[in-house]
Structure 1
Amino acid sequence: MSRRFLRTMLAAGGAAAVMALLPTSAQAASHSGGNYGAYGNEGQYPTTTYCSGTFRQVGPTKYAEGMALKYFYSDKCGSFARIENSRAGCAAVLQRSNDGVGRVDGWVSETVDPGINYAYTMMGNNLHGRVSKAVLSCDGHDLTETGWY
């Protein structure tokens, strides 16, 4: 499946359809820290059969240097971050808090692979009172972020 086709589907607003068409894992290596992985679904991509098609974008798309940051949520599975139109050296980051306070207790990131301009993270479990947010980070600097959801 061509990346152009995926971009066209995304531009057409078919985020759920695009998620169903994405590979079951991203090619870039993910990184995580804090207590990420402590809750169910963490360590899995949002394309797993159990979660596929259950996500919706929450909050507005954030932009920095022409790049887009989106936050997706599923009340069944949790959340993930996605960046689009990205340059090399950038990463989608999902930060998760153990409670509703909005303090980062765990995080996961995914870098942009050579030859493509998007990346999406594995899921974070922000269910049952936990919250999370998406961050666009390039060359070690956070360029923009969403609110806590």
Structure 2
Amino acid sequence: MRRRTLQTLLATSGAAAMLALTPVTAGAEPFSGGNYGAYGFEGQYPTVGGCTGTFRQVGPTKTAAGMSLKYFYSARCGSYARIDNSRTNCAAVIERSNNGAGRADGWVSETVDSGIDYAYTKIGNNLSGRVSRALLTCDGHLLTHTNWY
């Protein structure tokens, strides 16, 4: 049987598969892959100066197993995902596509911190023709996602 490298898994399986390989930690921790960080504001939380107060929820709130997933967008900064009423071993994820085709080229996730029931991601830059979507994953499994925006 041919062994697959972590890079091969990322390239062929996307963010949800990577989360299955991500170690569970005691605190919230961001993870990213693909070419995440290639565009402005990526690597920053939505509270960064110039972005605070510019985000609005786009699309309906998605629910799975009593947890909620919301997608937020700013025409100035990009997008981020937030999950609420979440259990441990769950993560909010933003997948971003470079060319608007709805195929993830980069992603960032944030796990739920011990003692709280929510998490939100760093910004995914879906400006200038790029698109993104939000995902809710638990224990490495995709539970729900939003449309690409």
TM-score (norm 1): 0.82
Tell me the residue number matched to 1:102: 102
* Separation of aligned partners in 2, 1:61 and 1:99: 25
Q: Identity over aligned residues, as a percent?
A: 72
- Superposition deviation, residue 29 in structure 1: 1.5
Per-residue CA deviations over 1:86-121 (Å, capped at 9, x if unaligned) read: 000000000000011000000000000000000000
Cα separation, 2, equivalents of 1:52 and 1:86: 24
Structure 1 CA distance, aligned partners of 2:61 and 2:30?
22
What residue is the counterpart of 2:29 in the other structure? 29
Larger RCO, structure (CA 8 Å, separation 6 or more): 2
For 1:59 and 1:75, the matched residues in 2 are separated by 15
Distance 1:75 1:84 in 2: 24
- The 5 A counterparts of 1:52-63 are 52-63=52-63
SS in 2 for 1:69: strand
**Matched position secondary structure for 1:104:** coil
Q: Distance in 2 between matches of 1:133 and 1:41?
A: 16
Q: Mapping of 1:1-149 within 5 angstroms?
A: 28-149=28-149
Q: Which amino acid aligns with 1:54?
A: T
Alignment size in residue pairs: 123
Q: Which runs of 5+ in 1 are unaligned?
A: 1-26
Deviating above 4 A after TM superposition, structure 1's stretches of 4 or more consecutive aligned residues are none
Q: Which runs of 5+ in 2 are unaligned?
A: 1-26
Question: TM (normalized to structure 2)?
Answer: 0.82
Separation of aligned partners in 1, 2:94 and 2:42: 11
Please give the alpha-carbon distance, in whole angstroms, between the structure 2 residues aligned to 1:100 and 1:89.
Answer: 30
Offset at residue 129 of structure 1 (A): 0.2
